[in-house]
Amino acid sequence: MNNCLKWQYLLYISVLVFLSVLLRGAYDYHSHNHKLQQEIVQLGDQALIYHQDLQQSLIERYLTLTHHYANEQHVQRAFKQGDREALYAYSNPDYQRLQQDNPDLHVMHYFDPQNITLLRLHQPNNFGDDLTDYRPIVRDANQSKTALQGFEVGKNGITYRITTPLINQAGEHFGLLEFGIRPNYFVERLAARFELESMILVKTRSLGKLINDYQFDTLDNYSIIQNTDFFDSLNSSIDLSVERARLTVEGRHYLLLTDLDQSSHQGELVAKVVVAKDITDLVYANQMELIRANLVNLVVLLLLLAVIYYMFNRYSVALARSARALDDLSRIQDKLKNQANTDELTGLYNRRFFNLELKNLIQCQQTGCLLFFDIDHFKVLNDTYGHPAGDRVLMELGNMMRHFFRQDDLLVRWGGEEFAVFIKHIPTKVVLQKVEAFRVYVEENITQHQPYPVTISGGVTNVRAGDDVASLIERADQRLYQAKQSGRNRIVSAFDEN
């Protein structure tokens, strides 16, 4: 039998070790996946921050240049005189230099305060057109006299516009200077920084007449302005509502970012730069790290199982012997505790235990009521029918108390024919009905089991502020005495209504 028990325990331990391996593997899998996800999120955040930094650097650069032009006398004079040739002669060298520095600078455009083109450096012969209705950023910048930035479709395509009022040191507003940078500027720098595949999408409804001049492939409600070969086969699997997703293409893993939004100066989404970053090496490195961690865990746990087997095999007999001794001791302690706290005849709690429990309940400010009662004419019953008959009545009364009162109530044989019940959590308005019902219950039912009538008399009171065990019991005992003096077979109460 001992040998069977030993192998049974060893089987349990083996199962626990196996479950430990599984749980550790699951934990490592979750931990490494969480780490991989954090690295992916960090990569996406870096791309987004870099994209925002690119926009901010453009704004700072061209705002500084515009401020210089606004305070240049040649520019102010050309605007006042409407001298396009002088403005072109002064600005074109800067435009050429800026284009050499940034080939994606496509637009350098002067407007007068009424939104009419004074000079396009990129198309010098195209001027005089009113763009109030066609170019909201121009209209709003002139009206608010505030520098505005955002993506907007013009007559020659979509560009990132930095549109700045020309305001000289005297506070005179005499026009606008706008720079336009192709979206390629952002795509190329993102690709160079993060080695990305890219695609440029523009809201189809934002293209205006350009939709009639060019044929574009579409994705959802966007037109594909530019993309690499990588995206040709992926269009149907791209969900633009998911800002960051993982894709597997021909065994390679990619992080797809669709949250590089290009908004107008009014905050309206105009275009998107969709990029895909090859994260295969990152995924494989994470998988190899996970495999190594699980192998180490498995070896350690197998060694642990071997050690446990050796120790268990050596001490199993001692463990079984100790377990039996502990069981015997526990049973003895339970029996002694039960004997110390209960009345041997009725099985109810005894007076000593009741006093301790009642003290604790009062100190904890337990609400409730104490019923103190005894059996009427019990001495006569003993003298007439004998002490065995009296014992049967006491045992029957204990059974009735357990049946009538709640499990949480404290049921006590106080001594001889005297009993007590502490009824917890009961309003004083209800307790008298309950104890009266118990008196009737005893009177009507105990005679069904005994050949002689038995009644009880009692006193009931509630716990009051400042009570201790002695004062509470004394008050209930006084009411019991009154019940005896007034004819027995009744309950007398003393409640503190406050």
- Would you say residue 498 has pLDDT above 50? no
How many angstroms separate the CA atoms of 61 and 55, rounded? Answer: 10
Burial class (CB in 10 A: 0-12, 13-18, 19+), 324: exposed
State whether 63 and 107 are in the same domain: no
Domain assignment present for residue 232? The answer is no
What's the CATH number where 422 sits? Answer: 3.30.70.270
* Catalytic residue chosen out of the listed positions 396, 417, 418, 474: 417
DSSP state of 367: -
pLDDT of residue 214: 65
Domain assignment present for residue 102? The answer is yes
Burial class (CB in 10 A: 0-12, 13-18, 19+), 207: buried
State whether 63 and 112 are in the same domain: no
Helices 2-70, 184-194: crossing angle, 10 deg rounding: 140
State whether 407 and 440 are in the same domain: yes
How many angstroms separate the CA atoms of 262 and 183, rounded? Answer: 9
State whether 409 and 294 are in the same domain: no
List, for residues 17-65, the tens digit of each pLDDT value. 777 777 767 776 677 677 767 777 777 788 788 888 888 998 898 899 8
State whether 363 and 306 are in the same domain: no
List, for residues 123-139, the tens digit of each pLDDT value. 999 999 999 988 899 99
Domain assignment present for residue 253? The answer is no
State whether 30 and 80 are in the same domain: no
Q: For 233-238, what is the mean pLDDT? A: 71
State whether 301 and 375 are in the same domain: no
Long-range contacts of 230-233 (CB under 8 A, 24+ apart): 230/197, 230/276, 231/197, 231/199, 231/274, 231/276
HSE-up of 5 (CA within 13 Å, CB side)? 10
Annotated active-site residue 417? The verdict is: yes
Last residue of a domain, one of 148, 182, 216: 182
How many angstroms separate the CA atoms of 493 and 486, rounded? Answer: 13
Last residue of a domain, one of 182, 213, 237: 182
For the whole prediction, is pTM greater than 0.85?
Answer: no
What's the CATH number where 154 sits? Answer: 3.30.450.20
Highest mean pLDDT among 259-268, 316-325, 402-411, 489-498: 402-411
Domain count, the chain: 3
pLDDT of residue 48: 81
State whether 479 and 369 are in the same domain: yes
State whether 60 and 87 are in the same domain: no
Residue 328: other Cβ atoms inside 10 A = 10
Domain of residue 409 covers 351-494
The rounded mean pLDDT for the chain is: 84
Domain assignment present for residue 13? The answer is yes
Last residue of a domain, one of 130, 154, 182: 182
State whether 40 and 171 are in the same domain: no
